[in-house]
């Protein structure tokens, strides 16, 4: 399996406390095309939390599989990501736990399996930095990489920021009236393929904008996959447990 396929797999496996209302794009301060100013606008408006839980109902289409899924997310900022993936009849097909230094996966279907990885080894294998914070930011539309070094410009009606990391280019796209990433596009410089993440239908939760629709597309000559998620049951309440029991040998 090549690096982009592994990145794609990470993207696909690794997508209320307060009243929510739709976030408007009118009447807001326009985004700057000065990189330093834009960085402050985006980081100041990043979705922040200590604890976060939500349900992501959606559909996976790819690799010969078409399946409705429900992903139950639990997060503690910069420490834990817990995801339970359920199919029809609330049957759990997989459970994922990511900590500061490791990732653990229990697979129940189609065949039982258990895997664990260190994040350092995954970062080395993928050729890109990987952390539990970045995984949280991926599903929430927060910046994945620093803005230095980076380049900024216009692409049609959108502001685009280009960041390079190892053998990949990351393009962030912004609607000029909203200080949130509308699209992340990751492209390999060494092999054909891309991962494309769109953030839609922003709503205000705890005075911060959060996307409640996330669409993930992965394209390669030998692989096309799509995961559409719609977030509901969003809560910022404290989470006491992240249940995960390693299988006995």
Per-residue pLDDT of the chain (249 residues; tens, 9 = 90+): 444 444 444 444 443 223 233 444 444 679 999 999 999 999 999 999 999 999 999 999 987 888 999 999 999 999 999 999 999 888 999 999 999 999 999 999 888 999 999 999 888 776 677 899 999 999 999 999 999 899 999 999 999 999 998 888 999 999 999 999 999 999 988 888 889 999 999 999 989 999 999 999 998 888 899 999 999 999 999 999 999 998 876
- CA-nearest of 159, 143, 145 to 45 is 143
Backbone angles phi, psi at 122, to 5 degrees: -65, -40
| Residue 247 falls inside a structural domain | no
The C-alpha atoms of residue 7 and residue 67 are separated, in whole angstroms, by: 21
Q: Give the model confidence (pLDDT) of 160-173 as tens digits.
A: 999 998 888 999 99
Sequence-distant (≥ 6) Cβ neighbours of residue 159 within 8 angstroms:
31, 33, 38, 152, 153, 173, 174, 176
Confidence at residue 40, expressed as pLDDT on a 0 to 100 scale: 96
Q: Judge contact between 200 and 221, C-beta under 8 A.
A: no
Structurally, the chain folds into a number of domains equal to 1
Task: Note whether residue 109 is domain-resident.
Answer: yes
Q: What is the pLDDT of residue 127?
A: 67
CB burial class (10 A; 0-12, 13-18, 19+) of residue 58?
buried
The pLDDT value recorded for residue 79 is 98
pLDDT digits (tens, 9 = 90+) for 48-92: 999 999 999 999 998 788 899 999 999 999 999 999 999 988 899
Give the whole-number percent of the chain exceeding pLDDT 90: 69
Residues spanned by the domain of 109: 3-235
pLDDT at position 49 is 97
Would residue 243 count as lying in a domain?
A: no
* Domain assignment of residue 244, yes or no: no
Q: How far lies 241's CA from each of 57, 107, 140, in Å?
A: 22, 20, 21
Whether 51 maps to a domain, the answer reads: yes
Q: pTM of the prediction?
A: 0.85
Q: ω into residue 62 within 30 of 0, thus cis?
A: no
Say which CATH number the domain at 53 has: 2.50.20.10
């Amino acid at each position: 399996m090549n690096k982009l396929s592994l990145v794609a797999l990470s993207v696909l496996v690794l997508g209320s406390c307060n009243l929510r209302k739709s976030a408007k794009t009118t009447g807001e301060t326009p985004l700057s095309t000065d990189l330093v100013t834009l960085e402050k606008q985006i980081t100041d408006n990043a979705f922040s939390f200590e604890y976060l839980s939500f349900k992501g109902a959606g559909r996976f289409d790819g690799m010969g599989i078409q399946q409705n899924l429900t992903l139950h997310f639990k997060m503690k900022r910069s420490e834990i990501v817990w995801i339970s993936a359920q199919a029809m009849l609330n049957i759990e097909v997989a459970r994922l736990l990511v900590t500061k230094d490791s990732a653990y996966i229990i697979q129940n279907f189609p065949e039982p399996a258990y895997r664990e990885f260190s994040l350092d080894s995954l970062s080395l294998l993928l050729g890109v930095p990987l952390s539990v914070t970045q995984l949280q930011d991926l599903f929430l539309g927060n910046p994945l990489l620093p803005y230095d070094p980076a380049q900024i410009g216009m692409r049609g009606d959108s502001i685009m920021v280009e960041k390079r990391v190892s053998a990949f280019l990351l393009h962030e796209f912004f609607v000029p009236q909203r200080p949130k990433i509308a699209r992340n596009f990751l492209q390999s410089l060494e092999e054909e393929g891309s991962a494309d993440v769109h953030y839609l239908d922003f709503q205000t939760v705890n005075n911060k904008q959060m996307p409640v629709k996330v669409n993930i597309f992965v394209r390669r000559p030998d692989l096309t996959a799509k995961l559409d998620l719609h977030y509901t049951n969003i809560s910022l309440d404290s989470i006491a447990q992240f249940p995960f029991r390693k299988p006995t040998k």
